[in-house]
Structure 1
């Protein structure tokens, strides 16, 4: 039997998981929500939910993957095999796998935008429009149906080439470069922004504590949604990365580091974007693609050294996006390998062909595409993985897997918290997303 690919060391795995977690949610959503929902009053519940999800769902998915040494389909199948229902488990396991593929396809469209703006930052074209309306028109043209084919294909090819090299030589090596570069570049931007006139008002805005915000349910709901989606639990990417992990690794410690660095990334984004907006007296109430491709480029153009700032920003964003993209594609690629018994390159080629066709066709509707996935499929996948691991596999199995590689036993409270709090929270996120039109 061919030896399963794996990460070469602990930090390779951790950086890959950080890469999967650090993405557009940290950059174009987190700063906006900090701004809109009370600054420090939002950060407190956000930190609470990061701790809850990091030390339940993230540990659970990593442990489930490592225990079964497989992706979601075979992992779910193994869980249900204990009840003589393996085929049912495998069928359910295709839900998070197809969700990962669909999310990756949508993310490919976004990566095409980012790549175009990154190259445009070097050539000057990204900052060419004269005003906000010009930036909006430029983005609207790019984000329309078939409006960015070439750069989108290039972004997909870059991601697939990395994936073709496998886990140790591809995913791990790429993240060992991309994640340090991302953090260094955003730290540089943070220092630069700190010296701009008016930036202090942005810091005051971030760390203000508004007692009324604590009483607003939306503060807590959107903090939960941000933490949930930022940590990339969906029954696919974190689970598949866990499957490549050695039995010698301490998963709770690794999960803690992933949650910590994901939070640092989100805070760095807030500490760059909110004070930068404050230098112009603008209040940050626009999130999503509009923030990144319209308002921030317009802001960069007005700043001293704005062209350099734009280059640094879009290179860092490209690194964060690419690391998330390869994580999303890994689960479907691994599933092709496992179920069809194909080689790595052939599996990558099949997924790339599907992604190429579908991503080109959804350019004009990608926003609605991603909304459906984040509202329905991601929390459902996380909830199903939680049920399989914590409810179906049972306490003894879970505690054995979580404590593998540890010097001392993890807390006895882990299992009941996961079973009776984390699993219901997944379905709460699903329900709240449906009711409110998305909270991630």
Structure 2
């Protein structure tokens, strides 16, 4: 079944579709999470394994999710409902649960995006200039402990994203995303060139680009493989429909494997080049590349403080981070807004305001989790609301949502393999191989279930690979 709604908004160009979909995938997963995970799990060896799973797992699932969107002309919930051949099987009910991943993602992503914007302003104003390593760490902790600053930058992020979406799909979302992506790549190129000319940059590039078995001896190959699989799903935002919605806005001129190749290539390019910025800087100034989530907000500001022209480069770096994060926020907001328009018949303005106000309220626990609500530890230990929300999305909804997409597209009780192949391969360009049916229908689900089970056991039972 296919839904042709001539009144539905569409994107103005193929470039807009590719940049929007890549913008959704390109975000903090590429630039904040990828470098520190890469640093912790072996550098170049991690990169190679990650690239393998990006192709073997990420790309097939992305083609499927785009197919659901393009065939149904609906959000992911509407796709399961519209394309379901058997009304007695309520595929859209679990689909609604996975769709909630978009909302939960924004409950913490807007706060972290606010951090990026705040640090761009801090560097521009010289607030971190002259601070030693201890002072930089203290500055970040004081920032987290300030509820007004935390909520203020989160609300700024939400308000800006809401305004962009309210303007319209082409005039707002598409136009602003093109600007943000162009800015992102210009900043990325400039920062890469600067990093490559730092003293000692070669050592950082060697760690990052030349595999060395010694670099994973402390963690072991099995853990590196699991983390690489995790990153492949996290970076592409698969399983919750944030990719499918942009498939619903495009025509059938090009095959979806062709479109997926362009999107994944852009996403991977940004992730790889982010490492080209960060690892030479770390090795050049004696910062450990495995210093964890604090790499961006504590370790790198120390680097910028001792680098010639560091105030300018620090400002540009966090502007780059802000642009990457904002493309994801705008894209996910659009997915939530499209659901309200498609399923509840809201106007775009009403859907945008409802989304903005709702996300602002729901994001407050994360923003206050480091100050007013710092005594609450949802997962035990020193965990915060951010940790809980991240675990729900990254550890559960993304992998299980991806599994659900695969089952729906390959099972005869769902949309089915034949319907999926027909939609995916309509248009000009690379075609999805029909010979991969067993691999897609059996091997990919087994790998996803294995990944989920390991993550569950590690989180709740202290399982150590």
Shift in CA distance, 232/320, structure 1 to aligned 2, threshold 3 Å: same
The structure 2 residue matched to 1:256, chosen from 247, 250, 261, is: 261
1:94 is aligned to 2:116: no
Alignment-derived partner of residue 317 in structure 1: 321
Paired residues for 1:284-323 under 5 Å: 284-288=289-293, 290-323=294-327
Alignment-derived partner of residue 83 in structure 1: 86
The structure 1 residue matched to 2:433, chosen from 407, 411, 434, is: 411
Q: Tell me if structure 2 keeps the 8 A contact 1:198–1:279.
A: yes
Q: Tell me if structure 2 keeps the 8 A contact 1:235–1:384.
A: no
Shift in CA distance, 366/129, structure 1 to aligned 2, threshold 3 Å: farther
Q: Structure 1, residues 345-393: CA drift from partner, whole Å, max 9, x if none? A: 1011111111111212322122332223211122122222222222211
Q: Structure 1, residues 386-423: CA drift from partner, whole Å, max 9, x if none? A: 22222211121111111111357532234333222223
When structure 1 is superposed on structure 2, of 35-44 and 140-149 the one drifting more is 140-149
When structure 1 is superposed on structure 2, of 176-185 and 316-325 the one drifting more is 176-185
1:14 is aligned to 2:18: yes
**Could you tell me the TM-score, scaled by structure 1's length?**
0.93
Name stretches of at least 5 consecutive residues in structure 1 with no aligned partner.
none
Q: How far 1:169 sits from its partner (Å)?
A: 1.9
Q: Structure 1, residues 118-154: CA drift from partner, whole Å, max 9, x if none? A: 12222112x2461222222222233247342222111
1:265 is aligned to 2:265: no
Alignment-derived partner of residue 65 in structure 1: 69
Alignment-derived partner of residue 281 in structure 1: 286
Alignment-derived partner of residue 131 in structure 1: 132
Shift in CA distance, 118/376, structure 1 to aligned 2, threshold 3 Å: same
The structure 2 residue matched to 1:400, chosen from 406, 410, 422, is: 422
Q: Tell me if structure 2 keeps the 8 A contact 1:21–1:230.
A: yes
When structure 1 is superposed on structure 2, of 162-171 and 319-328 the one drifting more is 162-171
**Could you tell me the TM-score, scaled by structure 2's length?**
0.89
The structure 1 residue matched to 2:177, chosen from 152, 175, 178, is: 175
Shift in CA distance, 224/275, structure 1 to aligned 2, threshold 3 Å: same
User: Secondary structure of 2:243's partner?
Assistant: helix
User: Secondary structure of 1:362's partner?
Assistant: helix
When structure 1 is superposed on structure 2, of 101-110 and 159-168 the one drifting more is 159-168
Alignment-derived partner of residue 191 in structure 1: 193
When structure 1 is superposed on structure 2, of 143-152 and 65-74 the one drifting more is 143-152
Q: Structure 1, residues 80-101: CA drift from partner, whole Å, max 9, x if none? A: 3x12236x22322211221111
Alignment-derived partner of residue 361 in structure 1: 365
The structure 2 residue matched to 1:37, chosen from 20, 24, 41, is: 41
1:432 is aligned to 2:454: yes
Q: Tell me if structure 2 keeps the 8 A contact 1:98–1:332.
A: no
Q: Tell me if structure 2 keeps the 8 A contact 1:198–1:278.
A: yes
Q: How far 1:429 sits from its partner (Å)?
A: 2.6
Q: Calculate the aligned-residue CA RMSD, in Å.
A: 2.1
Shift in CA distance, 261/352, structure 1 to aligned 2, threshold 3 Å: same
Shift in CA distance, 6/372, structure 1 to aligned 2, threshold 3 Å: same
Q: Tell me if structure 2 keeps the 8 A contact 1:7–1:244.
A: yes
Q: How far 1:166 sits from its partner (Å)?
A: 2.7
Q: Structure 1, residues 141-198: CA drift from partner, whole Å, max 9, x if none? A: 3324734222211111111111112322222212211112212211211111111111
User: Secondary structure of 1:237's partner?
Assistant: coil
When structure 1 is superposed on structure 2, of 151-160 and 372-381 the one drifting more is 372-381
Paired residues for 1:99-110 under 5 Å: 99-110=101-112
Q: Tell me if structure 2 keeps the 8 A contact 1:145–1:361.
A: no
The structure 2 residue matched to 1:375, chosen from 389, 395, 400, is: 395
Q: How many residues align?
A: 435
Alignment-derived partner of residue 243 in structure 2: 238
1:200 is aligned to 2:205: no
Q: Tell me if structure 2 keeps the 8 A contact 1:146–1:360.
A: no
1:228 is aligned to 2:233: yes
Distance 2:53 2:387 in 1: 26
Shift in CA distance, 145/249, structure 1 to aligned 2, threshold 3 Å: farther
Distance 2:115 2:87 in 1: 47
Shift in CA distance, 390/169, structure 1 to aligned 2, threshold 3 Å: farther
Q: Tell me if structure 2 keeps the 8 A contact 1:389–1:398.
A: yes
Distance 1:367 1:128 in 2: 30
Shift in CA distance, 169/429, structure 1 to aligned 2, threshold 3 Å: farther
Distance 1:277 1:297 in 2: 11
